[in-house]
């Protein structure tokens, strides 16, 4: 194997270090580029070219393989037995003769082809690494930097770090929040799609997963698995309901999430711009769970209704009716999302003047 110019392998090492591309990936792309260059110069096919690169000893070899025949029909892919035996007496018809090529023989066009394919391969490798990196962060909370803001549409371009970027659309922003160039903001990675131009990252500030991940980071008992988030319902900017359960009977799941003097939940509330958060104790008993989920309202009774759809009738004290329903029905709506039940709320004094069926 011939010794190559040291600059070639120095450049290889630099690409690996600067671009973060694995050496074996780079070598495969360079080998493929040299094969294309040889094919173009010698008018042969893939199986007529062999390229070996050994970065450990700083050497590479490009060889041309030609079939040994009695009568040559294609001089690019065949060689006569007579010519072959001038190189090695033991050659026979049907074998392949190996001719080592000199890199300079590739010519200017071949070299340009190699450079083009290498550049293309490097771009592809960088895209793949970016996609892989971002896909590993899917469904996670990341801190991004505001790059620019579209004053007309309200979309915000964010730098996600490690070469990644994404647009936070207006409809994925918490109502009323504002952004400034250069500031950092936490976003939830909803999805990552690999494309020819690199990863297409969908991010959100309104997704319930954002609040869930915030609690996982803020509450050690959730992070270590002692406390589990069983369900979450959110109307971004207004209120979130979080149902939690503890595997350890000695650990209060609600208290763990709220923290001493409300410190843990308050930190998340501030990050969300004042969004209210109800932390609720989850229960296997669905009537208990529904009753707790209507917090801060007090519940007198929960009746599960027959039928295929999950429905219930909840009775509350008269003075708690508006609290149970919430502003524009928000509290009962979040409760329904959290529990999976359709909820009909009635005052304790009667059924709005209607006859009970």
Contacts of 119 (CB under 8 A, 6+ apart): none
Same domain, 106 and 213: no
Give a yes or no: residue 61 inside a domain: yes
Residue 243's domain is classified under what CATH number? 3.30.300.20
pLDDT averaged per 10 residues, the chain (length 357):
56 64 73 83 89 76 91 92 93 93 58 61 76 88 96 94 88 93 95 86 96 96 97 97 97 97 95 94 97 95 92 95 95 97 92 47
CA distance 128 to 132: 6
Same domain, 10 and 75: yes
Same domain, 83 and 130: yes
- 3-state class (DSSP) for residue 243: strand
Same domain, 115 and 145: no
Q: Which of 35, 49, 46, 90 is nearest to 68 (CA)?
A: 90
DSSP string, 180-220: -TT-EEEEEEEEEEEETTEEEEEEESSSHHHHHHHHHHH-H
Residue 91, CA distances (Å) to 37, 78, 80, 82 in order = 28, 13, 10, 9
Instruction: Give pTM, 2 decimals.
Output: 0.67
CA distance 262 to 340: 28
Give a yes or no: residue 35 inside a domain: yes
Give a yes or no: residue 101 inside a domain: yes
Give a yes or no: residue 288 inside a domain: no
Q: State which residues form the domain around 236.
A: 207-282
Give a yes or no: residue 218 inside a domain: yes
- 3-state class (DSSP) for residue 96: strand
Give a yes or no: residue 287 inside a domain: no
Same domain, 326 and 242: no
**What is the predicted pLDDT for the residue at 3?**
47
CA distance 255 to 239: 19
Q: What is the CA radius of gyration of the chain?
A: 34
Asked if residue 62 lies in contact with residue 48, where contact means CB atoms within 8 angstroms, the answer is: no
Number of domains in the chain: 4
Assigned token pair, 331: 């509290």
Give a yes or no: residue 289 inside a domain: no
Same domain, 36 and 157: no
């Amino acid at each position: 194997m011939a010794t190559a110019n040291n600059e070639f392998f120095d450049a290889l090492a630099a690409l690996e270090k600067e671009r973060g591309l694995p050496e074996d990936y780079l070598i495969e792309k360079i080998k493929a580029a040299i094969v294309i260059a040889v094919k173009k110069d010698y008018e042969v096919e893939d199986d007529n070219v062999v390229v070996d690169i050994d970065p450990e000893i700083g050497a590479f070899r490009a060889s041309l393989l030609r079939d040994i025949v009695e009568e040559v029909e294609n001089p690019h892919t065949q060689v006569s037995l007579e010519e072959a035996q001038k190189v090695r007496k033991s050659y026979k018809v049907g074998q392949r003769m190996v001719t080592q090529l000199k890199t300079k023989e590739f010519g200017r066009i071949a070299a340009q082809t190699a450079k083009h394919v290498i550049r293309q391969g490097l771009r592809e490798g960088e895209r793949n690494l970016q996609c892989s990196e971002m896909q590993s962060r899917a469904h996670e909370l990341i801190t991004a930097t505001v790059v620019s803001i579209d004053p007309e549409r309200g979309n915000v371009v964010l730098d996600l770090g490690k070469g990644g970027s994404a647009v936070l659309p207006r409809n994925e922003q918490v109502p009323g929040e504002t952004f400034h160039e250069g500031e950092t903001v936490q976003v939830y990675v909803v999805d990552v799609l690999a494309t020819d131009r690199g990863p297409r990252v969908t991010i959100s500030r309104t997704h319930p997963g954002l609040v869930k991940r915030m609690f996982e980071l803020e509450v050690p008992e959730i992070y270590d698995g002692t406390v589990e988030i069983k369900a979450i319902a959110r109307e971004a900017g207004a209120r979130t309901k979080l149902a939690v359960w503890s595997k350890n009977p000695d650990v209060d799941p609600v208290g763990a999430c709220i923290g001493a003097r409300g410190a843990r939940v308050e930190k998340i509330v501030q990050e969300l711009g004042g969004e209210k958060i109800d932390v609720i104790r989850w229960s296997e008993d669905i009537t208990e769970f529904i009753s707790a989920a209507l917090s801060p309202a007090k519940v007198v009774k929960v009746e599960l209704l027959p039928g295929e759809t999950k429905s219930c009738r909840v009775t509350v004290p008269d003075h708690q009716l508006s609290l149970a329903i919430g502003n524009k029905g928000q509290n009962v709506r979040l409760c329904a999302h959290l529990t999976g039940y359709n909820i009909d709320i009635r005052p304790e004094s009667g059924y709005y003047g209607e006859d009970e069926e």
